[in-house]
Amino acid sequence: MGDDCAVVRADADGPWVLKVDPTLEGQHFEVGSRDALAIARKAVHRPASDLAALAAQPCFALLSLEVPRGTPPSWIRQLIRGVETACRRLGGELVGGHTASSAPRLALHVTWVGRSVLRRPWSRRRARPGDLLLATGAFGGSRLGKHRRFQPRIREALALAASGEPVHAAVDVSDGLALDAGRLAAASHLRLVLEAGEIPIAPAARRLAQRTGEHPLSHALSDGEDYELLLATPPRSLPGLLRTAKRHRFVLSRLGRFEHGSGVYLADEAGALAPVEPRGYVQRFV
C-alpha cells in the first residue's frame, strides 16, 4: 500500500506485479467520444505505465467494461478488440473480464498482472540523499493530444533494469512532473531540487504556452499525463544508464538531485532556490 502497484511473491521466478486503473468518459476522454481504438489504447496503457515504474513486463489483463444502455454491440466488440490489440502490442494478453450495460457513461477498468525482471522491484520509497533524479522523454502539452497517444515506458524500464545499474526509486508521471516528483521525494522523506535549465520541455508545451500565456516550463511541471518515468539513482550509475539509453535509442535526462530535508525546489542558473508547488493537472472533459 502506498505504491502504485501491488507486489506478490508467489513463486521462485520473480515477483508478480498487479495494477488496476479506471479510464472514465468525461475524465480521461471526451464525453461522447466514440474513437474506440484510442479509448481502448489509453485504458490499457494507463495501468501498464505503472508496471513500467516497477520494471515489470505486462503478462495478463482483465477488462471490466461499463457501457451506457443502447450502445451498439458492434461498437462494443470494436472496443474490446482494441483492448486485445493494445495488450498484445505490449507483450501481454487479455484473458477475461466482465461487461455491464447500466452505466450512464462509458468506463473501462483494466487490471494488469505483470512479472518484474527484478528480484526487488523499484519502489517510490527508497531514494537516498545524493541520488540524482533522471527522466525518460519530455514533459508538458499533453492536452494537445499526447494524453491519447502516449506509450508506456515498458521497453525503457526493462532495458534500464537489465543494465545492472542500481535504481533506488521510481515512479511514472501521470499527474504532473512537479506533483509526481514531489510524491517520490515525500515517500523517501527527502527534499528534491529540480534544475530549471535541465528539465526537457516537450514541443507541445511550447505551442500550448503560446495559447495560454504561461511559461513553457510551467506546462512541463504541471500539465500531467506525460507517462514518462522518474528514477532516483546514485551518481555513479549515471554513465552506465546513459549508455543503456543510447544503445536502446531513448532519451534519458538528469533533472535534479535529492537532499536531506523536505519539499520540492527549483534551482535557476545561478543556483538560487525557489519552492515549487507540487501541483498537477486533473483532466476533465465535459
Taking alpha carbons only, the member of 66, 86, 87, 85 closest to residue 76 is 66
What's the pLDDT tens digit per position in 110-127? 999 999 999 999 999 999
In this prediction the pTM is 0.93
Residue 267: pLDDT band (50, 70, 90) is very high
Q: Does the pLDDT value for residue 1 go beyond 70?
A: no
CB 179 within 8 A of CB 227: no
CATH domain 6-116 topology:
60s Ribosomal Protein L30; Chain: A; (3.30.1330)
Whether the per-residue pLDDT at 2 is higher than 80: the answer is no
pLDDT at position 102: 82
User: Are 119 and 14 a contacting pair, CB within 8 Å?
Assistant: yes
Residues 6+ positions from 202 with CB-CB distance below 8 Å: 137, 138, 139, 140, 141, 146, 220, 226
Q: Looking at per-residue confidence, does 261 or 147 come out higher?
A: 261
- Which residue from 39, 79, 78, 222 is spatially nearest to 142, judged by alpha carbons? 222
Q: Give the Cα separation of 64 and 96 in Å (integer).
A: 9
- Enumerate residues 6+ apart whose C-beta is below 8 A from 18: 5, 6, 7, 8, 111, 112, 113, 114
Domain range summary for the chain, segments of one domain joined by +:
6-116, 132-275
pLDDT at residue 200 greater than cutoff 60:
yes
Predicted confidence at residue 108, as pLDDT, reads 97
Res 89: pLDDT: 98
Domain 6-116 and domain 132-275 have a common topology: no
CATH placement of domain 132-275: 3.90.650.10
**Chain center to CA of 116:** 16
Q: Strands 93-100, 56-66: parallel, antiparallel or unpaired by DSSP?
A: parallel
What percent of the chain has pLDDT above 70?
A: 97
Looking at residue 12, its pLDDT comes to 76
pLDDT reading at 216 higher than 80: yes
C-alpha cell at 178: 512537479
What confidence score (pLDDT) does residue 283 get? 53
Q: What angle do CA 26, 83, 75 make, to 5 degrees?
A: 70
Give the Å distances, CA to CA, from 13 to 10, 27, 118, 119, 250: 9, 38, 10, 9, 28
DSSP state, residue 118: S
pLDDT for 285 equals: 44
281 has pLDDT over 70: no
Give me the pLDDT at residue 175, please: 92
- pLDDT for the residue numbered 21: 96
Supply the DSSP string of 142-168, one letter for each residue: GGGTHHHH----HHHHHHHHHT-----
Segment 68-98, tens digit of pLDDT: 999 999 999 999 999 999 999 999 999 999 9
